Structure 1
Amino acid sequence: MNTKMKSPKTVIITGAGQGIGLEIARKMLENGSQVVINDSEKSLVEDAVANLSRVGKGSVIGCSGDAASDSVIQEMVDLALHHFGKIDQVVANAGITLFGNFLEYNREDFMEVMRVNQAGTFFLVQAVARVMKRQEEGGSILLTSSVTAHQSHENLTAYAMSKAAIEMLAKNLVMELAPHGIRINAIAPGATLTERTTTDPDYAKIWSQLTPLGRPASTTDIAEAAAFLLSDAARHITGQTLVIDGGWTSVSPSPYS
């Protein structure tokens, strides 16, 4: 009988200082993974590492900085390889939302949304996929999209464009990554209770009324789905986007109505 234990997976997660990214990191640590977390705010990374260090069987290190920057992307890759020796998984979760009416939206905000959400995701995936190809052990990549890539949402045109592009990235890269044993998928969360959304005292009430399952998602709901798509249990799933919204996109009532 083969009693050799599998080595723990190493995963890079961006936008993990709080919210969905932080909860995905927590779930991966509970599963025994070795985790590199990133956030643009240094204080959030430091607090997250301190809290996550007490979780599960895995190990966690932090890397603060702009996840769309070439230098920060390279730093994350180097940290993972230096501390853990390999990269098995990546969650390209970092993104920004800049609200604005289409007729008044300015070029500066548009370009920043595309830089962070699209270019940041593209070049992180590229850097990690190159490592995975060299390792010749395959890998799993997960991108964070949004229900706004599927249904119209007022004042989020640029953001929705960026998220739709991310889903196409996951679909298109199947052809180039599958020969190397690398899977790539996306999740599209709907209304979710995070540190940001709960600053609105009406958020939970409104989205509980609009969501067929009767409540907005928790970050745990999203993290559980993310962990599944990253895992070997999803070994024959690639190029797909999983919508996690309690059924909202099936009926799509607007919060503004």
Structure 2
Amino acid sequence: MKFKDKVAIVTGAGQGIGFEVCRQLVAEGAIVLLNDVDADLANAAAQKINSAGSKSCIAFAGDSSNINFINHMVDTAIADYQRLDIVVANAGITLYGDFFTYSPESFYKVLQVNLGGTFFLAQAAANKMKLQANGGSILFTSSVVGHQALKDLACYAMTKAALEMLAKNLVIELSQYKINVNTVAPGATLTERTMLEADYERVWSEITPMGRPSYVSDIAHAVLFLVSEEARQITGQSLVIDGGWSAISTLPVGIK
């Protein structure tokens, strides 16, 4: 129970990677505020995690790109549990589109969620963590496309690369308060969303050196390490988890 009595916030956690991060944190003893913009999804996810026997996963529905909601979520963690040890800024959206016709509406929506939500959650959390003797850990979810270009993902990829630079820059700001900040960059991963895409698993299995796309558990294991006490000397780093795909960068054919 290496996260016993630790308090965590995980955004974008109604399903997929965020859900698995919450599940593993709770299994290791943490109290987790599980956030998703979809209230039904958040409630169902928390109930599913708590059905294993713990009651320490709390659904916290709301828009993680809204500054007022971000502050409310962080303030609630402090008010209810008197501490905030871990923040995983996982919420993000992907809006595919051709660069030549990409709309301003799509552009600013992706920036608001992927960058604004992450930046201001980190800011709100760090302002609380710096008052704690043991600081805390912050983690961002980037993407392998922050390292390797894919068609129709210019805006999304730009935001993910920016998150990795944000983590590096925050080393200057946060280290003196014993707060470390890192990033994971998942590659192709089997989630509820990606499994709806035709041939997703087959195509990515064929072009990934390790022979399969990642599972959400692969990403969550890395996240838990980076927010654990064992990783407190690691900060400003990005860990790519893609089964070796970015080392060879064979492009998928027939799917996005």
Could you tell me which residue of structure 1 aligns to residue 35 of structure 2? Answer: 38
Tell me if the contact between 2:94 and 2:110 (Cα under 8 Å) persists in the aligned partners: yes
Tell me if the contact between 1:33 and 1:58 (Cα under 8 Å) persists in the aligned partners: no
Could you tell me which residue of structure 2 aligns to residue 182 of structure 1? Answer: 179
C-alpha displacement of 1:236: 1.1
Find the aligned partners of 1:163 and 1:101 in 2 and give their Cα distance. 18
C-alpha displacement of 1:172: 0.6
Amino acid corresponding to residue 197 of structure 1 in structure 2? T
Give the TM-score normalised by structure 2. 0.96
Find the aligned partners of 2:164 and 2:3 in 1 and give their Cα distance. 31
Could you tell me which residue of structure 2 aligns to residue 15 of structure 1? Answer: 12
Change (3 A) 1:6 1:162: closer
C-alpha displacement of 1:6: 8.7
Could you tell me which residue of structure 2 aligns to residue 223 of structure 1? Answer: 220
- Is residue 2:207 matched to residue 1:210? yes
Amino acid corresponding to residue 79 of structure 1 in structure 2? T
Find the aligned partners of 2:179 and 2:18 in 1 and give their Cα distance. 21
C-alpha displacement of 1:7: 5.6
Tell me if the contact between 1:96 and 1:113 (Cα under 8 Å) persists in the aligned partners: yes
Tell me if the contact between 1:31 and 1:58 (Cα under 8 Å) persists in the aligned partners: no
| SS in structure 2 at match of 1:255 | coil
Tell me if the contact between 1:97 and 1:159 (Cα under 8 Å) persists in the aligned partners: yes
Tell me if the contact between 2:3 and 2:25 (Cα under 8 Å) persists in the aligned partners: no
Amino acid corresponding to residue 18 of structure 1 in structure 2? Q
Tell me if the contact between 1:32 and 1:58 (Cα under 8 Å) persists in the aligned partners: no
- Is residue 2:140 matched to residue 1:143? yes
Per-residue deviation, residues 121-150 of structure 1 (Å, max 9, x unmatched)? 000000000000122321000000000000
Could you tell me which residue of structure 1 aligns to residue 123 of structure 2? Answer: 126
Could you tell me which residue of structure 2 aligns to residue 164 of structure 1? Answer: 161
Find the aligned partners of 2:232 and 2:116 in 1 and give their Cα distance. 27
C-alpha displacement of 1:96: 0.3
Could you tell me which residue of structure 2 aligns to residue 239 of structure 1? Answer: 236
Tell me if the contact between 2:4 and 2:28 (Cα under 8 Å) persists in the aligned partners: no
Alignment coverage as a number of residue pairs: 253
C-alpha displacement of 1:202: 0.5
Could you tell me which residue of structure 2 aligns to residue 65 of structure 1? Answer: 62
Give the TM-score normalised by structure 1. 0.95
Could you tell me which residue of structure 1 aligns to residue 98 of structure 2? Answer: 101
Tell me if the contact between 2:207 and 2:252 (Cα under 8 Å) persists in the aligned partners: yes
Change (3 A) 1:137 1:198: same
Tell me if the contact between 2:4 and 2:29 (Cα under 8 Å) persists in the aligned partners: no
Alignment of 1:53-92 (within 5 A): 53-55=50-52, 59-92=56-89
Per mean C-alpha deviation after superposition, the further-off stretch among 49-58 and 18-27 is 49-58
Tell me if the contact between 1:35 and 1:58 (Cα under 8 Å) persists in the aligned partners: no
Q: Which runs of 5+ in 1 are unaligned?
A: none
Amino acid corresponding to residue 104 of structure 2 in structure 1? R
Amino acid corresponding to residue 75 of structure 1 in structure 2? H
Tell me if the contact between 1:33 and 1:57 (Cα under 8 Å) persists in the aligned partners: no
Amino acid corresponding to residue 241 of structure 2 in structure 1? I
Could you tell me which residue of structure 2 aligns to residue 28 of structure 1? Answer: 25
Could you tell me which residue of structure 2 aligns to residue 50 of structure 1? Answer: 47
Q: CA RMSD in A?
A: 1.5
Amino acid corresponding to residue 41 of structure 1 in structure 2? D
Tell me if the contact between 1:53 and 1:60 (Cα under 8 Å) persists in the aligned partners: yes
Find the aligned partners of 1:82 and 1:199 in 2 and give their Cα distance. 40
C-alpha displacement of 1:256: 2.9
Amino acid corresponding to residue 189 of structure 1 in structure 2? P
Could you tell me which residue of structure 1 aligns to residue 252 of structure 2? Answer: 255
Find the aligned partners of 2:70 and 2:49 in 1 and give their Cα distance. 22
Percent identity, aligned pairs only, is 51
C-alpha displacement of 1:83: 2.3
